[in-house]
Amino acid sequence: MTAPTPRRVSPPRPRPPSFSGRLHDARTATAVGRWLGAAFAVCFVTGLISHYLQHPPSWAADSLPSRPVWGYALTQGLHVGTGLAAIVLLLVKLWTVYPRLFVWPPLRSVRHALERLSVALLVASAVFEVFSGLLNIAEWYPWPFSFVPVHFAVAWVAAGSILLHIAVKAPEIRAHWSRRSAGTLELPAQDGPDRRSLMLGLGAAVGAVTLTTVGQSFTPLAGLDLLAPRHPGYGPQSLPVNRTAAAAGVSPRMLRDWRLEVRGPLPYSLTHAQLLALPQTVAELPIACVEGWSVDAVWGGVRVRDLLDRAGAPPGAAVRVTSLEVGGAYRVMEMGRDYARDPLTLLALTLHGQPLSPDHGFPARIIAPNRPGVLQTKWVTLLEVL
Ligand SMILES: Nc1nc2c(c(=O)[nH]1)N[C@H]1C(S)=C(S)[C@@H](COP(=O)(O)O)O[C@H]1N2
Ligand SMILES: [Mo]
């Protein structure tokens, strides 16, 4: 007699949850994904515009467009507006496709593993972009790296993985693009009330987020601006402030013997009173911050090109502007020829007819058309002809 061989007990196979509703199918994923893709495309293009206005390649630096004057306010408002909408769209899209995490077996082939890896990269980079952007507009930086270069670099990762995802999913996207596209046997392709409700809810959520924040750059809707971190009318002289004089370490003592120094072929310096005695220009121009708020204001001051001409600058000259501020990333700024020659580019001395408040850059600041807020240098002390 032989002992009975012990029977092998195979471990129970995990039973994945099953999802049968229409809200997790390819048609819903496509319907939400189209909007999300559009939002990311707008964010990417407007982000590139902002990046290249701030860091132009040397061949383009002299001929950046200074018109329309509100160009940067528009592109940056779109960037932050579509970025906020993308948070809602991304969360709904992830909810729609999360059952894919339970597909068994998780990895079927090398090809399938690569496809899953690209989706992991897509989700991680997209989540990082929208949430790092959100924290940036709230000026909260709970990370050890510098926001701008990392947000810019990860944008390329997100853009690349979105394009790859679209390419991989092209047949499914095509099959589910329109409401009447062919469904599968188990799930006919008509849009049921459940999917319509989801899309309506999504539209309402995106609408609510947009309406309660867009007023920070689109001032006709400023009254609805309940959730944005900035409000157009708040701040000294009815204009928000990103970095106060105190935060920048600019004290009244530093301003006591203030003079504007202009270096060039014919260097000179001017006191505040001498600057006010020069021909003044008034221009209505927006401050448009990278963080998505913008406000139109009436600035008065001396044309930068007049100051450069007086220093004997050649007509094609660019200019380097330096602030009194001691540290800070925006202490020194360069401006190419077309900005420097623009008749609306001012060394501003007044705001809404009053002397600049200390937080707005007293005694003098740069204001130029179609220019990122970070380059509208405050507390200017030195202009150098380049
Ligand atoms: N010297 C200096 N200028 C600066 C800054 C700064 O930090 N230092 N911040 C810039 C930024 S980010 C913006 S949006 C505008 C804000 O201008 P406001 O404070 O006059 O509204 O100033 C710009 N000028
Ligand atoms: Mo800014």
Nearest-CA residue for ligand 1 atom 10 is 374
Contact 254, 325 (CB under 8 A): no
Instruction: For 348-381, write each residue's pLDDT tens digit.
Output: 999 999 999 999 999 999 999 999 999 999 999 9
Instruction: For 288-320, write each residue's pLDDT tens digit.
Output: 999 889 999 999 999 999 999 999 999 999 999
What domains appear along the chain, each with residue ranges and CATH number?
A: 26-224 (1.20.950), 237-385 (3.90.420.10)
Q: Please give the sequence-ordered ranges of beta strands (E in DSSP) within the chain, or none if there are none.
A: 260-263, 268-270, 281-288, 294-303, 319-323, 332-335, 346-351, 354-355, 365-367, 380-385
Q: Best substitution site from 330, 346, 351, 383 to test ligand 1's pocket, by max atoms within 8 Å of Cβ?
A: 330
Q: Which amino acid is at 79?
A: H
**Rounded distance from Cα 7 to ligand 2 centre (Å):** 71
Instruction: Please state the length of the chain.
Output: 386
Specify the pTM.
0.92
- Of 128, 48, 51, nearest to 87 by C-alpha is 128
Is the per-residue pLDDT at 10 higher than 90?
no
What gap in Å lies between CA 238 and CA 64, rounded to an integer? Answer: 30
**Rounded distance from Cα 11 to ligand 2 centre (Å):** 59
Nearest-CA residue for ligand 1 atom 24 is 377
**Rounded distance from Cα 205 to ligand 2 centre (Å):** 28
Index of the ligand 1 atom closest to the CA of residue 329: 7
Instruction: For 170-222, write each residue's pLDDT tens digit.
Output: 999 999 988 765 455 445 556 678 899 999 999 999 999 999 999 999 999 99
Tokens 């909408």 identify what position? Answer: 85
